Amino acid sequence: MTKYELRTVVEGRVWLPGERGFDVARQAWHLTVEQPVAAVVEARDVEDVVALVRYARRTSSTVAVQPTGSCASGNTAGVILLRTSRFDEIRIDPARRIARIGAGVSWGQLLAAAEPHGLIGPAGNSPVVNVVGSTLGGGMSWFGRKYGLASAGVRAFDVVDAEGARARVTSDSDPELFWALRGGGGDLVIVTGMELELYPAPNLYGGQLMWSADRTGEVLAAYREIVRHAPPELSVWAERRQLPGAEGRIAIAATYLGDADEARALLRGFDAIDAPVADTRGPLTPSNLGALTSEPVDPGPGITRSELLTELDDEAVEILFAESISPLIGVQVRLLGGAFAEPHSGAHPAVAEPFSVHLHGLATSPATARTVRDTQRRIVVGLGGRIGARKPFTSLIPGESIAAAFDGPTVDRLSDLKRIRDPYTVFRANFPIHRAEMRAVFRRDCDCHRPAMPPWGW
């Protein structure tokens, strides 16, 4: 491929190896993941995407769509990396409670656009994560206990297929592809736009409570009691934090879809714990969701491992919230349940486990990366049978495959579709659809299904 070829094919920006800006353009969100791509293209419009796919078909090249690289696996050697930031359309239809968005829109942007209409989207904790990318993988939202996976609310996709043809995919027009794109990832087409249901949120309440880490025992006891009675409108996450050079903290973050008084009553158990160092509870604007957990908005050397948890008993609390979590910087437990556990008609399975656990570390060097991963592995092994057999697709990390998210029949169904819809493998997702990887799949203990793909980077 020469720069002249690609630059005559698309109108958008192109970066090739050695050119100024190439290294930034190809960067993943987690800076530890290497992306040895052949080129980066920022498509200008749908015609550009069509032209790029036809070019890839003609030249036997592969295209990897990656709006943010926030779940980059490193599986990008030699691909043309497609960035979608120019697809920034957001149209809200308040009467139908539908958002029509382009493939470059982030959750922060969508929430800000929906807010004036008293509406909310099924957003997770990060304002930076791409709406289409996370919804293709199911999408675990703050409001999933009430409304289920984000993918359950998709009404239509606009796509470019592996032949470069445009189509609108709905439950009527193409039921099999519509099923696959709602939670089965994005390895079958390029999505250029999406229509997604929004939810009423006239009174959103939320905030963060924080104490010194020595109150962890009391806070976790109150947390376990509160989550036993939590209605689907309430989401509560507990996190032990240990940032370098700072005092240890135990934090609670909560959102409630309803009145402040009701929320205060539901969270009353925390009021009895003395000396909080912060309490930001109050009416919450949806566009401030990211601030609840102080989400980073720039790429960094983070390494997170997430798993589902079948129970948060005394021993699990002991393992997760031990006196020192070092070298990790955060150990977070999120309450799931409610509508997360209800089946929906997309490819992603229901998430039956009542909690997820997220182990955050920073990799400032290959050696610290190893130490962080070893600690994460040790904690997961310690939790043993409490770790769910599978995990949400959006929690996959380098070294894992779709086998960690789906059961055998679902992988077979996705693989059949991949073979028919993308027979020449024009597209390559971070976590591609591969039947062969499936055979080693099932696990009850924690590490035996990994790694199905080699991890790239450090």
Ligand X SMILES: Cc1cc2nc3c(=O)[nH]c(=O)nc-3n(C[C@H](O)[C@H](O)[C@H](O)COP(=O)(O)OP(=O)(O)OC[C@H]3O[C@@H](n4cnc5c(N)ncnc54)[C@H](O)[C@@H]3O)c2cc1C
Which residues of the shown chain bind ligand X in the complex (CB under 6 A)? 29, 65-72, 84, 103, 124-126, 129-130, 132-134, 136-137, 139-140, 185-187, 190-191, 295, 392, 394, 429-430
DSSP string, 336-351: --GGGGS--SSSSPP-
Cα(140)–Cα(124) distance, integer angstroms: 6
Given the structure tokens 């990799």, which residue do they identify?
Answer: 363
Neighbours of 187 (CB within 10 A): 25
**In angstroms, what CA-CA distances link 404 with 140, 407, 409, 431, 442?**
16, 8, 13, 10, 8
437 neighbors 453 (Cβ within 8 angstroms): yes
Quick one: 32 or 70, whose CB is closer to ligand X? 70
Q: Which is nearer to ligand X, 65 or 438 (CB)?
A: 65
Shortest distance, CB of residue 94 to ligand X, whole angstroms?
A: 25
Q: In terms of Cα–Cα distance, which of 166, 165, 169, 167 is closest to 151?
A: 169
- Helix, strand counts (H, E) of the chain: 13, 19
Residue-by-residue DSSP string for 136-161: HT----TTHHHH--GGGGEEEEEEE-
CB 340 within 8 A of CB 350: yes
Is the CB of 102 or the CB of 276 nearer to ligand X? 102
Strands 302-309 and 119-120 turn out to be: unpaired
Minimum Å gap between C-beta 126 and ligand X is 3
Residues forming a β-bridge with 278: 210
Nearest to 382 by CA among 441, 331, 440: 331
Least separation, in Å, of the C-beta of 432 and ligand X?
Answer: 8
Please, where are the H alpha helices in 150-215?
175-181
Q: Which is nearer to ligand X, 276 or 455 (CB)?
A: 455
- Nearest approach, Cβ of residue 81 and ligand X (Å): 9
Tell me the closest approach of the beta carbon of residue 261 to ligand X, in angstroms: 27
Write down the least CB distance from residue 452 to ligand X, Å.
16
Q: Based on CB atoms, which residue is closest to ligand X, 276 or 299?
A: 299
> Which of residues 242 and 394 has its CB atom nearest to ligand X in the complex?
394
Residue nearest to ligand X (CB): 133
Query: What is the closest distance, in whole angstroms, from the C-beta atom of residue 273 to ligand X in the complex?
Result: 26
Closer CB to ligand X, residue 184 or residue 276?
184
